[in-house]
Amino acid sequence: MSLSRQLLADNAALWRTWMPHRFTQAVAEGTLPRPAWLRWLAQDYRFVAEGLRFLGALLAKAPPGAVDALAQTLAAWHGELALFREDAGREGADLAAPPAFVTQAYGDFLLSVAYTEPFAVGWAVLFGVECSYNDAWRWAREHAAPDSPYRPWLENWGSDAFGAFVQSLAERLDGLEPQLAPEVRKRMDVRFAQTARFEQLFWEMAWHGDAIAMVP
């Protein structure tokens, strides 16, 4: 089994929590509560904006063959911010809202990976970030009505074009496998599983808000 498939197989139970999550299911059904939509808009904007730093730090340690792909990804993430601003302006979402706990923690996690882990581990995390969103939004796209108001977002991450981009990330990851030291391979498992966990928690936050249930 290829490295990218192995990582996905090892985290299949977590992956299923957003295929669909209640949030993406409600997106598809057109029943998403407005506060959840506004919260997701503001928090995901923040995630992508902070994610630029992750990509920049990863770019600094990229091998020559990965520089173009990373620079293009950085430009794409940056371009995506305009889509958020457009929708937030129309919908009245507050893009200056403070980060939710998980948004802050996920961004900090990404930066820490970029600075402290070998490049290959950072690439595996990037693959996890993009593949999880592709899978979540592709599910929603396949189940949404043609005139869904969320169409720009369904196309942004759920389209075949985005799927092909994720596939290119997977292929580059698989290409790194023969040179991986066993301890780097192990770090990849750890960081990829953490990425999947952050994705799950991000959907939970988008749906429920930032409240933490107190154990009595």
Residues contributing to the site for ligand MP5 (CB under 6 A): 44, 47-48, 51, 77, 80, 129-130, 133, 199, 202
The CB-of-35 to ligand MP5 minimum distance in angstroms stands at: 18
The CB-of-89 to ligand MP5 minimum distance in angstroms stands at: 18
Are 150 and 136 contacting, i.e. CB atoms less than 8 angstroms apart? Answer: no
Nearer to ligand MP5, 55 or 176 (CB): 55
Cα–Cα distances (Å) from 165 to 31, 132, 135, 210, in that order, read 30, 13, 13, 31
The CB-of-87 to ligand MP5 minimum distance in angstroms stands at: 13
Nearer to ligand MP5, 87 or 130 (CB): 130
Torsion of CA 160, 166, 167, 172, to 10 degrees: 160
Nearer to ligand MP5, 91 or 181 (CB): 91
Cα–Cα distances (Å) from 70 to 43, 110, 131, 192, in that order, read 23, 15, 15, 18
Are 27 and 36 contacting, i.e. CB atoms less than 8 angstroms apart? Answer: no
Nearer to ligand MP5, 119 or 133 (CB): 133
Residue nearest to ligand MP5 (CB): 133
Q: What is the distance between the alpha carbons of residues 127 and 122, in angstroms, rounded to a whole number? A: 9
The CB-of-133 to ligand MP5 minimum distance in angstroms stands at: 4
